[in-house]
Amino acid sequence: MTVAKLAELSEHNKAREKAEMEEKLTNAQREELNNVQQQVAGGGIFEDWEPLYDRTMNDDLECNSNSSDSDDEWEDDDEVAVVDELGLRGTGGAEWEDRLRSHQDAWGDQIPTLINAYLAFLDANTHPDSEPAGPEISTGQFKIRCISLWREETKSFPLHNGNSSVAVNVTLIQNGFIAPSPTRPTVAISVKLLELLATVQKRCPSISVQGMARSFCDLWNVPFKNYFQTQLSTALDVYYVLQRKCQQRLHKILGLDSLEAKLKACCPPCTNKVTRK
């Protein structure tokens, strides 16, 4: 691909990005954008400018230039100034990567505590008549939108052990809900719903999370939104982590956390393979 073709593609991308940005602006922002562009351009004093060189005559020179002078690394200072002044610069890849890493670290810090809450939830459902391990002092209440298999409603839960996001997630799991966010959760998804989704995917891996999310929206008679697919996928990942960590704890208690112990506990006839069968 020639430099001229790359330049043409770059100009096309700039025009498309500019059109998309202008569609998101209000009338006041568009007026402010025009004023800033006039200030940057000097009030129209550059209307009769002429290029200093002919691009077609300098393609060979640009092909041999250093990477620091290439069109890919060039950026329009005027557009950057306008976008920065209006506060419309998008989220960069590095910023999004940092956000995902911070969420992953937050989940990693909470998982050990959430496992205990999940085991308490399973024990309460297995033995509903058993008394709690100890009295818990309520420090307040919080409301959150809860999504179950057949309905979506706002519920109130008593908050124990402080007002942190960890305490909120612990309370949610103790009541059978998993939040898709480690910090400042605004929605919680039922463990029963996640268990159903995990079972369906186990027996039919071709079913996607998006397909299940659309099916749930049809059951609730609500329009499908892309963010619900993301929330459902994240909550399902947390559910899988809790299941795996609980299984690891069980194997450690039973002494099956080593490869040798697994070989001793397995059934020899089940591991036997018959030739041509």
β partners of residue 154: 145
Range of the domain at 146: 98-261
Q: Which helix (H) or strand (E) holds 146?
A: strand 138-147
Which amino acid, 150?
W
Work out the angle between the directed axes of helices 191-203 and 209-220 (0-180°, nearest 10): 130
The pLDDT of residue 252:
87
| Alpha carbon distance 65, 163 (integer Å) | 59
**Model pLDDT for residues 73-116, shown as the tens digit of each residue:** 444 555 555 445 545 455 556 777 887 888 888 888 888 889 99
Q: Are residues 148 and 75 in the same domain?
A: no
Mean pLDDT split into 10-residue runs, the chain, 277 residues: 72 78 74 71 48 48 46 48 51 73 84 90 75 56 88 85 76 91 89 93 90 89 88 92 91 83 77 74
On whether residue 58 sits in a domain, the answer given is yes
**Model pLDDT for residues 182-205, shown as the tens digit of each residue:** 888 889 999 999 999 999 999 998
The pLDDT of residue 141:
82
Q: Are residues 108 and 43 in the same domain?
A: no
Q: Could you give the angle at the alpha carbon of 148 between the alpha carbons of 145 and 151, nearest 5°?
A: 80
Q: Which of 56, 89, 122 is the last residue of a domain?
A: 89
Number of domains in the chain: 2
The pLDDT of residue 194:
94
Q: Are residues 136 and 208 in the same domain?
A: yes
Quote the tokens at residue 84: 């920065």
Q: Could you give the angle at the alpha carbon of 193 between the alpha carbons of 215 and 217, nearest 5°?
A: 25
Q: Are residues 148 and 181 in the same domain?
A: yes
On whether residue 102 sits in a domain, the answer given is yes
Q: Are residues 119 and 230 in the same domain?
A: yes
Give the pTM: 0.60
Q: Are residues 236 and 110 in the same domain?
A: yes
Q: Are residues 183 and 104 in the same domain?
A: yes
Q: Are residues 132 and 225 in the same domain?
A: yes
